[in-house]
Amino acid sequence: MAGLPVCLLVLQWGALLVARAAALQSPHYCLQRGEEKIEEDLGMAAPTVVTIQPQFGGAMSSVSRCMWQTSLMDCCTDCGVCCCGMFCFPCLACQVAGDMNECCLCGTSVAMRTMYRTRYNIPGSICSDFCVTLCCPVCSICQIKRDINRRRELGIF
């Protein structure tokens, strides 16, 4: 029975040491002593998340920079691109790939659409890029080409 009070005493002493160490690290203790607290508790700090990277160039509205310039089925806004896509699809695909400094065979791929979308922070996902490219490749490549043309006019391509 004599060992039990000693164990309790050791446990209380250990708890006291832990509490004292925590008190020494608290910002209040450092301020009371007149010292500056340089390190913050990183485990409790909220991480800073960057959602839009800084861009070079003039001031632009975030809508024109981070959205598709035309919708997927908006073929009438540029009839030349639409006709080229309908009657000479491989030619338009090579133009888009050339505009993006990629191989001509990559012009209609999901990777090309995803790369373009992420380059300009356009909302979407790889899954949506896959569905659009699979279901309507002509509309997809026309939308990218119209977007490239509009961004060139705005000076952001």
Predicted confidence (pLDDT) per residue in 41-96, tens digit: 444 555 666 666 555 544 445 446 789 999 999 988 999 999 999 999 999 999 99
* Per-residue pLDDT, 75: 85
Residues 143, 91, single domain; the answer is yes
- For the chain, give the percent of residues with pLDDT over 90: 50
Higher-pLDDT residue of 31, 134: 134
* Per-residue pLDDT, 2: 53
Residues 66, 143, single domain; the answer is yes
Examine residue 149 and state whether it is found in any structural domain, yes or no: yes
**CA proximity to 147, closest of 70, 60, 95:** 70
Residues 26, 77, single domain; the answer is no
Residues 70, 139, single domain; the answer is yes
Examine residue 42 and state whether it is found in any structural domain, yes or no: no
CB-hemisphere CA count at 13 Å for 146?
25
pLDDT interval class at 38 (50, 70, 90): very low
Examine residue 39 and state whether it is found in any structural domain, yes or no: no
The mean pLDDT value for 139-154 works out to: 95
Examine residue 113 and state whether it is found in any structural domain, yes or no: yes
Residues 132, 84, single domain; the answer is yes
Residues 25, 99, single domain; the answer is no
Examine residue 40 and state whether it is found in any structural domain, yes or no: no
Residues 12, 67, single domain; the answer is no
Examine residue 15 and state whether it is found in any structural domain, yes or no: yes
DSSP conformation letters of 140-153: HHHHHHHHHHHHHH
96 contacts 90 by C-beta, under 8 angstroms:
no
Examine residue 47 and state whether it is found in any structural domain, yes or no: no
Examine residue 37 and state whether it is found in any structural domain, yes or no: no
The domain tally of the chain equals 2
Q: Residue holding tokens 């380059």?
A: 119
Domain interval for residue 114? 62-154
